[in-house]
Every structure is written in C-alpha cells, then in structure tokens.
Amino acid sequence: MLALITPKKPITLDQMIHHCQAVKRGAPNRPLLVGDMPFGSYEYKDVDIALRNAYRMVKEGGMDAVKFEGGSEARANTVKHVVEGGGKFVCNDVGLKHS
C-alpha cells in the first residue's frame, strides 16, 4: 500500500476502504481490525463528514474500529462526535510533543 502514497498524492478514503476489505477477507476471524482513517477524511469543522467517513470504514471496509490521528481539541470533538454517533470503537493516536 505504501507504493500508492506519494507526498503529492496521499491515499484516498476509497483506496483505504479497498485495502481494508482485502484485510478483512484475508483475516476474517481476527478479534479486532482497525482501519486507519486517511488524511483528509476527518479534518473538517463539520464533524458529520468525519462520522459518515468512519461509518464507511466500518460498513464498507469491514473494520471493527477506526483510528484518527492528532491530539488537538478539534480532534477530540471529532472523536466524541463519532462515538456519540454510534461508533463502536475509536482509537486515537495523540502523538507526543517535546519541548
């Protein structure tokens, strides 16, 4: 999958869903499959877009959970909205900051 990503052309949500489907087919009995939400699929002021895209990863991609990146207050609001909207599992990579 990394061969598909370049700095000028990041992976799309549709491409990530395609890869998630392949993982689900190859590992149907795994206890927890987590789909990494691609950059640009959840960084919106309208958090309903993030919710809709997270649902796509679960429904179309066959994932049990979705993963977001970032530890900002805006990201926390996005994660909260997805969980309150019925997202079963959400993982968030908050990253580490050093001074």
What integer pLDDT is reported at residue 72 of this predicted model?
82
Say how far apart CA 38 and CA 10 lie, in whole Å.
8
Answer yes or no: are the C-beta atoms of 54 and 87 closer than 8 Å.
yes
How far, rounded to the nearest angstrom, does the alpha carbon of residue 41 sit from its chain's CA centroid? 8
Radius of gyration in angstroms for the set of CA atoms belonging to the chain, rounded to a whole number: 14
What integer pLDDT is reported at residue 70 of this predicted model?
78
What integer pLDDT is reported at residue 13 of this predicted model?
95
Name the packing angle between helices 47-59 and 13-26 (round to 10°): 30
Taking the chain (99 residues) in consecutive chunks of 10 residues, what is each chunk's mean pLDDT?
Answer: 62 94 91 90 89 94 90 85 83 67
What integer pLDDT is reported at residue 6 of this predicted model?
62
